[in-house]
Amino acid sequence: MSYSIGEVSNMTGISVSTLRYYDAQGFFPKIIRGNGGIREFSDHELAVLKTLDCLKSSGLSIKEIQHFFQLAQLENESLEARRDLFYQQKSAVIKQIEELTQTLNMIRYKCWYYDTAIELGDERKVQDIPTEKLPEDIRSFRY
């Protein structure tokens, strides 16, 4: 199947200018160009975009992602290096999730705190609630 740059943009939510940038950075070395040099994206380029987006979301820079795709050009010679990169990113994402979970827990506590202060009409009354009297699901998030 063949897709225009506009179709790919609509399918992925990636802007046309970003897709052109990715092409200029060498992420689509096998892309076919039709009449007038118009890019014809295939399912292969869509798979590249999914991997690129995953690596970008996991915190890698464009240069690091380029390095990954350079390794991919080596095919079987670079399997271990590419696997290792994904294990590193897996660890980094797990750490991010743990940090975001702590942030979410504090936000959940603060939502309860302000809801209760508004309900009681006085913030000091919430501050005076002993920890053991707090709802169990937010108890450990009180600082």
Note the pLDDT tens digit of each residue in 6-51: 999 999 999 999 999 999 999 999 899 988 889 999 999 999 999 9
Q: What is the pLDDT of residue 141?
A: 86
Q: What is the pLDDT of residue 105?
A: 94
Question: Is residue 119 scored above 80 in pLDDT?
Answer: yes
The stretch 85-113 carries a mean pLDDT of 96
Domains defined for the chain, CATH in brackets = 1-60 (1.10.1660.10), 74-143 (no CATH)
Count of residues in the chain: 143
Per-residue pLDDT reduced to its tens digit, 100-118:
999 999 999 999 999 999 9
CA distance 42 to 21: 17
Q: What is the pLDDT of residue 1?
A: 87
**C-alpha dihedral (11, 14, 20, 23), degrees to nearest 10:** -80
**C-alpha dihedral (12, 6, 38, 67), degrees to nearest 10:** -20
Per-residue pLDDT reduced to its tens digit, 51-84:
999 999 999 999 999 999 999 999 999 999 999 9
